[in-house]
Structures are given as structure tokens and as C-alpha cells.
Amino acid sequence: MSRLHAVLTATAVLAALSVQTGCDSAPPARASVEPLASATDNTAAAARPGASSAAAGNGETWSCPHPGNAAAQPERPRDPRAPVATRTDGTRVFGREGALTSSVALPEILGEPSRFAGQTVKTTGVVRQVCQRMGCWMELAAEGSQARPVFVRMAGHAFLLPRDVVGRRATAEGRIAVRPLSPNEIAHYNSEGASLAEGATTVELEATTVEILPASDARPAEG
């Protein structure tokens, strides 16, 4: 009896230890681990504009916030002296592309300037002089004429002209104004190379577009 009692006691102790340690229970489930994407894969995905990648098995996506994305790049300021376009024939466009398709002869404007005052026109002539300080104005004369030129100002100094275009043919588009300039204005412009007469009424064109025609189309500047 004593031996049987010892066996039963040992069996009971082992059963108790089994309950406490969980030996009969299934081992805990291992967490699922997704393989990490390689650095090469991440770099390639980030290089594509608007690229996205699936998160680890949950279907979420992210967009590449890298500053290299084209949409995130700030626009660089434009050089006001640079043409906005150069045509196949060599014509350089300054300011913005013109909107008018028809033009008015420069002698017609100069012959009756009050008729065109306040109108936006397009006209062509020869550059007699250009501002030698900044390129913010030019004198546009009728071809083969020694009559007074139209004084063309670059609207709001939004763009500037090269200072070496004297004698080149040019087309200007903008609003016509007829007014006398003050002595200070005349002195200022003449100090930059203009030939404005004091007391005379000036025909101005506030240009939003200037096209400098190719050198092969140049004409001698009258003056």
C-alpha cells in the first residue's frame, strides 16, 4: 500500500505541474513578419512621381514626399533679360507672346497719334536707340524715315531688352499714349541715350511684347 500511495502521489504532483506550466497547451502563435523591401526597391519607388507602396500587409498606401518630385519644386524666377521664346527664323520674343494678328504701320500712328491713343496696337519699325542702363525702353522709328520715333517702354519693367539691338527691326505690341513728358523725365531718359526734345509731345507705346527680328533682317538706323 505504501508503494501504491507513493506512485499515486507522484502522478498527482506531475499533473499539477503540467497545469501550472501549460505544457499540454499549444505553443503561442508566432507573429507574422513580412519581409522588408530592399533599399533598391524603395529608392526606385520613390523616384517615380506620385509613387506609392503597400504597407506591411494592411493595404495602406503612402505617397513619396521627397522634395525631388516635380510637383514640389518651386518655380524659379525668370531672367527679365531672357527671351520667352526664340522662333525657328531667329526672332526673339520678349515679354510675352503677342495676342494681335494684324498690325498698324508706324507712319500711320505717328501721322495721327490722337486717333490711336488708348488703343492696343502692334507695329514694326527699326530700333533707333535702346536704354543703355537697363534695356527698359527703346525708340522705334519708321524704316527709312528721320521723323520722330515712338518711345516704347517695357510695361512695368516686367522685361528688358538687350542693349545691342540698335539697327534691328522690331515689332512691339502695347497701348498707345500721347502726352508731354516732364523736364525730369526727359533728362532721365536722355541720360540713358534717348533723344527726346524738351516740350514736345511724345507718342508712347507701353509694350507687353517686343519681337527682335533676326540680324539678317536688320536695317540701318535713321537719326
- Asked if residue 136 lies in contact with residue 153, where contact means CB atoms within 8 angstroms, the answer is yes
Averaged pLDDT, groups of 10, the chain, 223 residues long: 56 52 48 47 46 45 44 62 93 94 95 96 96 95 89 94 95 96 93 89 95 77 47
What are the C-alpha distances in Å from 219 to residues 15, 41, 157, 193, 204?
Answer: 114, 62, 26, 20, 22
Distance (Å, whole) CA 144 – CA 161 = 23
Domains of the chain (ranges; CATH) run 85-217 (2.40.50.140)
Q: According to the model, what pLDDT value does residue 68 have?
A: 44
Q: According to the model, what pLDDT value does residue 200 have?
A: 82
Which grid coordinates are listed for 144? Answer: 527709312
